[in-house]
A = this chain, B = another copy of it.
Amino acid sequence: MSLRPATSAPPAVGVDVGGTRVKAGLVEATGEVVARVHRLTPGRTVAAAEVEELIAEVVLDLLGQVAVAERGAIPVGVGAAGFVDAAQGRVVFAPHLSWRDEPLRENLARRLGRPVLVDNDAHAAAWAEHRYGAGVGESHLVMLTLGTGIGGAILTEGRLQRGRHGLAGEFGHQQLVPDGLRCECGNRGCWEQYASGRAIARLAREVVAAGGDHASALVRTLDGGEPGALTGEHVTRAAREGDRASREILAEVGRHLGVGLAGVAASLDPGTVVIGGGVSLAGDLLLDPARETLARTLVGRGHRPVPPVRAAQLGEVAGMVGAADLARHAAAGPSA
């Protein structure tokens, strides 16, 4: 497909509908975010129409910052946390929202009076990393977004692979441990129970509950709060400050990440793996153990290249940047 040069390509609006926040940005064709707004994501009990109203609001807010003459040409893309049938623009199921087989594209297009692209948030983030970040130049990319759970996306020959119904990339629900930890998907032992923000928080609570010197830095981090309040961010901060227990937690989660990555790499043979999402801020404290486990367990090791595991580069704007760019591409012609 041909892209207009960055200087003449219009900006696009990208919206990232996550479990916690709706984040939106006006994104230039260079990937630069020139304006941002965000709102708290309404809970599961709020009607689908109200969430759509809120999305329309943030989009109109951003469109209002563009010169009237340009406004009509600005594409809108939405990346949503959930099962999204991108071809139909429908959200099949969103665990954090009341959307159930919701025709989001149609509803937003009506509200906004312009075409809207709807895709999965992890797909949008992977596309952003491929276009502007850690995946530039990689034709065969797997991206995992590590947040509360594990999101994922597959790019082959530079194109997003969405699967038969648009639901591909849900790597987090492969069984890693039979009869293991209960997952909110209803199964036990899913990978995301062992290699996500939730896993880090659980291990941190266990360290605090065990007490002793080993727990002291994490207890200090809590500053009198309940262990239930511990998050991946607390652990990453303590680990960066040298806390041994916190480093061990990140290493344990990193090893579980590596075990699952070995399965993903055996199945898909990616050229590069990119790890994004909030948990990836732990950086090499998490990724080095993952790389080591991947290299040690990938089938055929010694006879094949082991894909590099890179930290994502775009941080929390990846979703909006990717959604905006996918919308820009869709508006320009054949989809990515």
How many whole Å from A32's CB to the nearest CB in chain B?
30
Q: Is the interface of A mostly helix, strand, loop or mixed?
A: loop
A83 within 8 A of B: yes
A156 within 8 A of B: yes
Question: In the complex, which of the residues B93, B163, B169 contacts A270, with contact meaning CB atoms closer than 8 Å?
Answer: B163
**In the complex, what residues of B have CB within 8 A of residue A260's CB?**
175
Q: How far is the CA of A175 from the CA of B268 in the complex (A)?
A: 15
**In the complex, what residues of B have CB within 8 A of residue A162's CB?**
269
Asked if residues B187 and A267 are in contact (CB atoms below 8 Å), the reply is: no
A220 within 8 A of B: no
Asked if residues B267 and A299 are in contact (CB atoms below 8 Å), the reply is: no
Asked if residues A171 and B267 are in contact (CB atoms below 8 Å), the reply is: yes
Q: Give A93's nearest chain B residue, CB to CB.
A: B303
**In the complex, what residues of B have CB within 8 A of residue A185's CB?**
299-300
Within 8 A of B (CB), among A91-148: 92-93, 100-101, 139-140
A262 within 8 A of B: yes
Asked if residues B164 and A270 are in contact (CB atoms below 8 Å), the reply is: yes
Asked if residues A173 and B263 are in contact (CB atoms below 8 Å), the reply is: yes
Inter-chain pairs besides A167-B300, A175-B297, 20 sampled, C-beta below 8 Å: A83-B303, A92-B300, A92-B303, A93-B300, A93-B303, A100-B303, A140-B164, A154-B268, A165-B269, A165-B305, A170-B267, A171-B267, A172-B266, A173-B266, A173-B299, A174-B174, A175-B176, A175-B259, A175-B262, A185-B300
- Top-6 shortest CB links A-B: A163-B269, A174-B263, A164-B271, A93-B303, A173-B299, A140-B164
23 A-B pairs with C-beta separation under 8 A: A93-B304, A100-B303, A101-B303, A139-B164, A140-B164, A156-B156, A162-B269, A163-B269, A164-B307, A165-B271, A168-B267, A168-B268, A169-B269, A171-B266, A172-B299, A173-B263, A173-B299, A174-B263, A174-B267, A175-B259, A175-B262, A177-B177, A186-B301
